Every structure is written in C-alpha cells, then in structure tokens.
C-alpha cells in the first residue's frame, strides 16, 4: 500500500437540508468545484461524495486555503460553505471505486467538526474553516479573520474580492458593477478585501 502526505479538504453546504431546490444547489456546487479544479492544482480533484459533502486534496497548504476560499466565494451569498483542512498520510484502498483512507482524512474530518462546533457559539459564529496539522494555531488565527471578513461581505463586495483575486483591476470591476472606481476602492478598504488579497499574495 502506497502512502502520500497531503493537505486534505472536506467541505459541506451549511443548512442544505432546508434548501427547497436541491437539484439547483447540486448544480451550483458542482460548477464551483469544476472551476476550482481547473484553476488550482489539486492532487485529488474536489468532488461531491454524498449529498452536499465534497472532498479533495492538495500538495501544499497555500493551495488548499486558496481553493476553499474559491468555493466559498463562488457559492455566497446564496449558499455558505464549511470546510475542514487536514494534513497527513493518505492511502488508496480501492482504486477502482476511489476509496481512500488514512490520517489525512481523519484530520480533515476532525477539522470540519471543529468548525461546526465553533460556529454554533455566538462569539465564534463566523468560523467556517478549520485546519488540523502543523502550525495549526497560526493557520487558524488567519482563517478566523478571513472567515469573519468574507462572511460580512455583500454580494457586490464578494464580486470585487473574486475579481481582484482573478487579477482584474478595480476600474474593470467598477464598470462591470456599474459603480464608480472610488466606490470600489472604498469597499476594498472598508470590507477588508485588500487585506485578504494581500495575505494571499504574500503566501504565494
């Protein structure tokens, strides 16, 4: 049996059982995952496993953190996503059926359970992402702040965040949204969009 050390990701849609049109939800989620798989470099492509849960893995933490933000921003504001990022050995038990096992998946499951537990407490209700692995305290401090900022954004600010992360200029985004360039600049400063973009660029 061959083991590889990976940064694993498990995600699910929050409150999906209350969604009336679950087929539409599935289509939107599948589209978001396809986009991330095309733009990022997963070791194991993000894929829906059952219901509203999905999983995949990456070779480094920076890619994993960027990918889960990609998915969340793509789904908001209509749907919100919870993620657990783990780290550890992963083995393939049955290649034909794609069955995998190992500490990498156990830590990802532990992480998403932690995220759900923290979100249930009012003081930490904005938590959507958790990491279990090396330097977890530092990584989770950054994720906590990012989750809070993203969760507080309007649809327009989310579009600006997505656009800037894709390399679009503030002027281009202003034209797309039909607002002034100064209005975009104000949102970038006020909503912490610039901080998120800077943080990602610093990691790359």
Q: What is the mean pLDDT of residues 109-136?
A: 98
Read off the pLDDT band of 121 (50, 70, 90). very high
- Kindly report, residue by residue over 47-59, the tens digit of the pLDDT: 999 888 999 999 9
Distances (CA, A) of 53 to 15, 21, 44: 12, 16, 15
pLDDT of residue 2: 66
pLDDT of residue 99: 73
pLDDT of residue 44: 93
pLDDT of residue 101: 76
Read off the pLDDT band of 195 (50, 70, 90). very high
pLDDT of residue 18: 86
- Kindly report, residue by residue over 70-108, the tens digit of the pLDDT: 999 999 999 999 999 999 999 876 666 667 778 999 999
Percent of the chain predicted with pLDDT > 90: 83
* CA angle centred on 57, ends 55 and 58, rounded to 5°: 150
pLDDT of residue 91: 82
Mean per-residue pLDDT of the chain: 93
pLDDT of residue 71: 98
Backbone angles phi, psi at 2, to 5 degrees: -100, 130
Rounded-to-integer distance, Cα 42 and Cα 197, Å: 21
CB atoms within 10 A of CB 49: 13
3-state secondary structure of 188: helix
pLDDT of residue 3: 75
Q: Is the pLDDT of residue 148 over 80?
A: yes
Read off the pLDDT band of 204 (50, 70, 90). low
pLDDT of residue 203: 76
pTM of structure: 0.94
Read off the pLDDT band of 198 (50, 70, 90). very high
Q: What is the mean pLDDT of residues 107-134?
A: 98
pLDDT of residue 95: 66
């Amino acid at each position: 049996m061959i083991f590889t050390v990976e940064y694993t990701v498990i995600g699910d849609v929050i409150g999906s059982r209350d969604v009336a049109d679950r087929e539409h939800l599935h289509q939107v989620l599948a589209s978001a995952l396809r986009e991330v798989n095309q733009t990022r470099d997963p070791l194991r492509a993000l894929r829906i496993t059952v219901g509203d849960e999905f999983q995949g893995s990456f070779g480094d933490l920076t890619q994993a953190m960027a990918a889960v933000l990609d998915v969340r921003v793509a789904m908001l504001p209509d749907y919100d996503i919870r993620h657990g990022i783990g780290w550890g050995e992963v083995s393939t038990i049955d290649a034909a059926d794609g069955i995998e096992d190992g500490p990498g998946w156990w830590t990802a499951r532990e992480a998403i359970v932690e995220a759900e537990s923290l979100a249930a407490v009012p003081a930490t209700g904005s938590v959507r992402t958790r990491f279990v692995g090396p330097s977890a305290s530092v990584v989770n401090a950054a994720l906590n702040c990012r989750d809070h900022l993203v969760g507080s954004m309007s649809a327009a600010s989310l579009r600006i965040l997505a656009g800037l992360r894709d390399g679009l200029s503030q002027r281009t985004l202003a034209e797309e949204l039909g607002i002034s360039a100064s209005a975009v600049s104000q949102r970038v400063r006020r909503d912490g969009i610039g901080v998120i973009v800077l943080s990602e660029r610093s990691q790359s």
